[in-house]
Amino acid sequence: MSECENKEGACQVSSAKSPCSQTEQAGCIVEGNIEMWSDSFCRAMREVQVDILKEKIRKNWGPVLDKMGDAVVAAKGTCWQSMVAQAFAQQELRDNFTKIIGSTRK
């Protein structure tokens, strides 16, 4: 496993197991900064790679993916409208029950 794969998302000031002693403080700060910069470089490299792949994917399959996205939006829209209709029906049932129960009060 490469350093970038191993360190992804890591954010440590020191790689030492225990806190730095007073005499080691300067070394810990230097090593911690080197490690953070290395982690940042790996993260930035990965982001650039993702951006490059996104560009190539859109160029090669963009129209097909757009059509697929349209199909998903249409289907999810139908599901959403169905859930809204069900919520209104449930609320109407609750309102009717409240009226019925309220009418029995003397």
Q: Give the start-to-end residue ranges of the domains of the chain.
A: 3-103
- CA-CA distance, 25 to 67, in Å (whole number)? 58
Query: Is the whole-model pTM more than 0.85?
Result: no
First to last CA, the chain: 77
Q: Is-contact 46 4, C-beta < 8 A?
A: yes
DSSP 8-state code for residue 18 = S
Q: What is the pLDDT along the chain (106 residues), one digit of tens a residue?
A: 555 555 544 444 444 455 566 556 667 888 899 999 999 999 999 999 999 999 999 999 999 999 999 999 999 999 999 999 999 999 999 999 999 999 988 6
- CA-CA distance, 8 to 38, in Å (whole number)? 10
